[in-house]
Amino acid sequence: MKIFLIPLLFFIFLLNSFASNILSTGEVNLIGAIKIISIKNNDNYFVVKNKKSETIGFLFDSTKICPEINGYTSHIPMIVFIDKNGIIKHIFFRKNNETPAYMDFVLNKNSFLDNFLGKNASDTKEVDSISGATFSSDAIKNEIIKISDYYLKTEKKK
């Protein structure tokens, strides 16, 4: 898991920098082991494939799927990686306008994000918010639920 995490974090850095370019191109190869193929027809996610072109999961951008969900100050941009089996594997937060102390509080409460990580996308609705950072944690929770619902609807169409 940790071996995969470093290249994926590097990819997320690149994705944050070049998301609009990647979304507008047909295919981008990054980091050697991971091939990212953007979905055409303005879909709101990336398909993540290995060197053998086998799908290993999907990256969902909250700014595309649920920009209407706000924390205390505004939307909290995040990328959620859901593997091919529907398990939430990673949640990455992008630059946001939330009060840093509240975001630190939410992100340092390991049990909050751990409530989502490793869960099936269909099991995300039963997570409690964090008192003391309710707006931020509610927004994060609701974004993950909306992304999970989007994933489940997308998978049913296949």
Phi-psi region of 92 (alpha: psi -120 to 50; beta: other; left: phi over 0): beta
The predicted-structure confidence for 14-35, as pLDDT tens digits, reads as follows 444 444 433 333 444 434 445 5
What's phi and psi for 56, nearest 5 deg?
-110, -10
The predicted-structure confidence for 139-156, as pLDDT tens digits, reads as follows 999 999 999 999 999 876
124: closest CA among 154, 95, 156, 151?
151
pTM of the model: 0.73
Q: What is the pLDDT of residue 34?
A: 53
